[in-house]
A and B are shown apart, each in its own frame.
Chain A
Amino acid sequence: QKEVEQNSGPLSVPEGAIASLNCTYSDRVSQSFFWYRQYSGKSPELIMSIYSNGDKEDGRFTAQLNKASQYVSLLIRDSQPSDSATYLCAVMKGSQGNLIFGKGTKLSVKP
């Protein structure tokens, strides 16, 4: 089992819809989780971080964490074409805090 798993997509949603991105992780003791957005040819940029069970909202983005199910998700409301990118789920591991990334889900928002 891979440490961080994501559906590679592509996930296609119409403009204005809700995009739902999912991620599962294998290390039960993980405590810190992140969603990054990566445009083609660019480095990742942080979208959300989440550390405790439940929902965390920031503008159009909502991160959800369920540690019992080892599951973390990202919802994007009112999706825009500019949201089209690859979304990377990352889990912090180790005492030095390195990140383990999933393969990413490619999101396409159609006008």
Chain B
Amino acid sequence: GAVVSQHPSWVICKSGTSVKIECRSLDFQATTMFWYRQFPKQSLMLMATSNEGSKATYEQGVEKDKFLINHASLTLSTLTVTSAHPEDSSFYICSARPDPNTEAFFGQGTRLTVV
């Protein structure tokens, strides 16, 4: 299957700081990437859809000024958690698909812990 790489795999940061997470499609171009968040024992919740060259589309209840998404190229999308708080601690996962109508592949995920 297609390869999606996410970095870092885990990060610990202090409250009030910002953290950037990268998502790369390694062997295909992705005009669209998706960012999910998963709290313990919960399912994946879509946060936003990242579109290359345009603004991201955020799901209801997700603060766009707090979760900044940049999709500057066809192989890279970044999610920046700004002014992080302990309640932002979660597992963040990106996904992308080579073809709009087929399966999506996921990055390894980023475990964010805000202390």
Contact = CB atoms under 8 A, between A and B. Distances in A.
Question: Which has the most chain B C-beta neighbours within 10 Å: A43, A88, A98, A101?
Answer: A43
A49 B103 contact: yes
Interface size class, chain A: 20 to 34
A25 interface: no
Nearest to B99: A97
A43 B107 contact: yes
Interface string A84-100: 00001000100011111
Contacts, number: 54
A102 B104 contact: no
Given A43-B93, A88-B43, A96 B32 contact: yes
Interface string A30-63: 0010101000011111100100000000000000
Interface in B13-66: 32, 34, 42-46, 49, 51, 57
A110 interface: no
A73 to B, nearest CB: 18
A43 B101 contact: no
A39 to B, nearest CB: 11
A103 B101 contact: no
Nearest to B97: A97
A45 B3 CA distance: 11
Contacts of A45: 106
A49 B102 contact: yes
29 contacts: A36-B106, A41-B111, A42-B109, A43-B108, A44-B44, A44-B106, A45-B106, A46-B1, A46-B103, A49-B102, A49-B103, A88-B44, A96-B32, A96-B51, A96-B57, A97-B32, A97-B97, A97-B100, A97-B101, A97-B104, A98-B46, A99-B34, A99-B46, A99-B95, A99-B104, A101-B43, A101-B44, A103-B42, A104-B43
Interface of A: 32, 34, 36, 41-46, 49, 88, 92, 96-104
